[in-house]
């Protein structure tokens, strides 16, 4: 967060960037000679390398290939609304016929215009002068027409650095299932209700948010801090998109331990001696820890030592080391539990709650309300959870323009969040 050195603001090969064209954004990894497909544009991205973040580039058609574009850095832009002079407007729409014959240009004509490497301004101008009804439209309507057409032919893109905000909105807009239906407001509340901050050990079970959840938690834990995240996932590999795009410093990224839900719990319950002894004084530390951890853990501490010991002298696989690291933390218990699952949450919460310390919070997200209602009754039936709340959000965006301010026409529906505090019983 210190004043960035020059290089960190320069777009480099290997960087993950967010490419924005008007309201549309896309994640892209910068490589030498890479191309990006953005809507109907196939863009050669080489010219962004070495330029700075937030710079704006103009897409220029490559001669000979209508779909292929290159980009050039721009210092100044001219928008269509400014540069076009509208001579005549109507008072209302009473004379405008409702048919498709108002545009004189055919699709081929328009493609031709695009071929001639003309800017979006000129295309829009041509569209207007060939529209039979444009001059009949009201001033507002003309403006709307220009903006609509300009949007289609808008030729500028901007390069941004990925952030949790940008990616959260981008994934959700592209497809809500990419984040299990977690909208930006849901994400923001999951983080606050779970009290995620720079210290503590946090536990997440996430069955697939494109890496957004672990990235958001790791981001909130911060760099050069003490916090740690155990990220449990159901597959062989976790979804990483959102996480790698954040390009956390190694020190920070390493404090997110990705483990498979089944294998880490198996390790915890069946290979206790693989992680509960940190040094050579095996027996000593073992008994100490068991005393500390009380009866519950003792029951589970029958070692299946044969296998483990046989493998020990050889190099352990990295997933085994991760499991052991995670188990060590689970043994000390964690400071928050977050579940963002496709699966029914009751069994997951049942299995993970023993690892949550008392006086700490639990947050469960689900796109559906009913599974959380089931979870509510389960938690009520335990005596150690209080302040159980089930909520969802109404969120909407506004168009803000003088005399034309109103809610955006389209809106969507987020999911449900259940929160609670665990007690010490």
Partner 1 sequence: MSFDGYKDEINEGDTVILYLTITQVYSIKAQPKIVNKKGNEVENVFQTPYGALKCGELIGKSYGTKISLSKGWGYVLQPTPELWTITLPHRTQIIYTPDISMIILQLELCPGSMVIESGTGSGSLSHALIRAVKPHGHVYTFDFHEVRAKTATEEFKDHGLASYVTVGHRDVCEDGFGEHMTGKADAVFLDLPHPWLAIPHALTSIKTTGGRLCSFSPCIEQVQKSCLMLLKLGFQDIQTLEVLQTQYSVQQRSIPVINLDFVKAEKDGSEPEKKEREMMKTVTGLPPASSPGHTGYLTFATLPPVWCRSLQISLNEEDILTSVD
Asked if residue 331 lies in contact with residue 290, where contact means CB atoms within 8 angstroms, the answer is no
Contact between 390 and partner 1 per CB under 8 A: yes
Residue with Cβ nearer partner 1 (80 or 136): 80
Residue with Cβ nearer partner 1 (19 or 265): 19
Task: Please name the helix (run of DSSP H) or strand (run of DSSP E) that holds residue 402, with its range, or none.
Answer: none
Alpha carbon of residue 123 to chain centroid: 36
Query: Is 110 exposed, middle or buried (CB count within 10 Å of its CB: 0-12, 13-18, 19+)?
Result: middle
Pick one of 72, 75, 87, 101: the residue that binds partner 1 (CB under 8 A). Answer: 75
Applying CB under 8 A, the span of 109-117, 214-222, 274-282, 339-347 interacting with partner 1 comes to 214-222
Contact between 424 and partner 1 per CB under 8 A: yes
Near partner 1 in 258-317, by CB under 8 A: none
Task: Please name the helix (run of DSSP H) or strand (run of DSSP E) that holds residue 28, with its range, or none.
Answer: strand 24-29
Instruction: State how far the Cα of 420 lies from the Cα of 194, in Å rounded to an integer.
Output: 9
Instruction: State how far the Cα of 207 lies from the Cα of 94, in Å rounded to an integer.
Output: 55
How is residue 187 annotated by DSSP?
H
CA distances from 73 to 13, 43, 206 (A): 17, 14, 40
CA neighbor of 22 nearest in space, from 147, 107, 131, 179: 147
Residue with Cβ nearer partner 1 (272 or 422): 422
Pick one of 222, 253, 277, 378: the residue that binds partner 1 (CB under 8 A). Answer: 222
Least gap, CB of 234 to partner 1 (angstroms)? 26
Applying CB under 8 A, the span of 39-47, 76-84, 261-269, 344-352 interacting with partner 1 comes to 76-84
CA neighbor of 203 nearest in space, from 74, 100, 85, 356: 356
Residue with Cβ nearer partner 1 (86 or 118): 86
Residue with Cβ nearer partner 1 (120 or 271): 120
Binding characters for partner 1, 33-72, by CB under 8 A (x = yes): -------------------xxxxx----------------
Contact between 400 and partner 1 per CB under 8 A: yes
Applying CB under 8 A, the span of 116-124, 204-212, 319-327, 366-374 interacting with partner 1 comes to 366-374
Instruction: State how far the Cα of 184 lies from the Cα of 182, in Å rounded to an integer.
Output: 7
CA neighbor of 72 nearest in space, from 45, 54, 92: 45
Near partner 1 in 370-389, by CB under 8 A: 370, 373-374, 376-377, 386-389
Applying CB under 8 A, the span of 129-137, 263-271, 344-352, 400-408 interacting with partner 1 comes to 400-408
Residue with Cβ nearer partner 1 (287 or 391): 391
Instruction: State how far the Cα of 323 lies from the Cα of 258, in Å rounded to an integer.
Output: 8
Near partner 1 in 88-117, by CB under 8 A: none
Least gap, CB of 33 to partner 1 (angstroms)? 26
Least gap, CB of 355 to partner 1 (angstroms)? 15
Applying CB under 8 A, the span of 108-116, 174-182, 313-321, 353-361 interacting with partner 1 comes to 353-361
Pick one of 294, 318, 394, 409: the residue that binds partner 1 (CB under 8 A). Answer: 394
Is the dihedral angle over the CA atoms 323, 329, 332, 335 positive or is it negative?
A: negative
Binding characters for partner 1, 163-202, by CB under 8 A (x = yes): xxx--x---------------xx-xxx-xxx-x-xxxx--
Least gap, CB of 2 to partner 1 (angstroms)? 8
For the chain, the C-alpha Rg in angstroms (whole number) is 28
Instruction: State how far the Cα of 220 lies from the Cα of 319, in Å rounded to an integer.
Output: 25
CA distances from 216 to 120, 197, 206 (A): 38, 11, 12
Least gap, CB of 239 to partner 1 (angstroms)? 20
Instruction: State how far the Cα of 183 lies from the Cα of 169, in Å rounded to an integer.
Output: 7
């Amino acid at each position: 967060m210190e004043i960035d050195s020059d290089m960190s603001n320069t777009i480099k090969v290997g960087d993950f960037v967010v490419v924005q064209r008007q309201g549309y954004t896309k994640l892209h990894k910068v490589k030498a000679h890479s191309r990006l497909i953005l809507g109907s544009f196939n863009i050669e991205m080489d010219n962004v390398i070495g330029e700075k973040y937030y710079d704006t580039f103009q897409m220029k058609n490559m001669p000979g290939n209508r779909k292929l574009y290159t980009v050039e850095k721009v210092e100044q832009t001219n928008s269509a609304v400014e540069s076009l002079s509208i001579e005549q407007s109507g008072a209302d729409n009473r004379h405008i016929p409702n048919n498709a014959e108002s545009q004189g240009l055919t699709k081929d004509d328009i493609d031709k215009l695009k071929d001639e490497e003309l800017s979006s301004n000129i295309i829009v101008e041509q569209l207007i002068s060939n529209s039979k009804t444009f001059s009949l439209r009201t001033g507002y309507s003309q403006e709307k027409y220009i903006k609509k057409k300009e949007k289609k032919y808008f030729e500028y893109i901007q390069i941004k650095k990925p952030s949790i905000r940008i990616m959260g909105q981008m994934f959700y807009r592209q497809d809500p299932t990419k984040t299990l239906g977690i909208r930006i407001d849901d994400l923001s509340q999951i983080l606050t209700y779970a009290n995620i901050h720079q210290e503590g050990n946090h536990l997440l079970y996430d069955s697939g948010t494109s890496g957004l959840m672990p990235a958001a938690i790791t981001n909130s834990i911060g760099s050069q801090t003490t916090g740690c995240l155990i990220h449990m996932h159901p597959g062989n590999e976790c979804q990483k998109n959102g996480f790698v795009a954040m390009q956390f410093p190694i020190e920070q990224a390493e404090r997110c331990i990705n483990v498979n839900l089944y294998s880490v719990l198996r390790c915890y319950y069946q290979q206790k001696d693989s992680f509960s002894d940190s040094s050579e004084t095996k027996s000593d530390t073992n008994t100490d820890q068991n005393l500390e951890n009380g009866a519950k853990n003792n029951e589970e501490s029958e070692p299946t030592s044969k296998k483990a010991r046989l493998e020990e002298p050889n190099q352990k696989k990295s997933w085994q080391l991760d499991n052991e690291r995670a188990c060590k933390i689970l043994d000390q218990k964690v400071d928050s539990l977050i579940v963002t699952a496709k699966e029914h949450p009751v069994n997951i919460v049942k299995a993970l709650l023993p690892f949550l310390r008392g006086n700490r919070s639990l947050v469960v997200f689900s796109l559906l309300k009913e599974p959380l209602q089931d979870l509510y009754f389960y938690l009520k039936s335990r005596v150690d959870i209080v302040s159980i709340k089930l909520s969802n959000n109404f969120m909407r965006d506004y168009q803000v323009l003088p005399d034309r301010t109103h809610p955006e026409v389209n809106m969507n529906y987020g999911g449900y969040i259940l929160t609670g505090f665990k007690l010490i019983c």
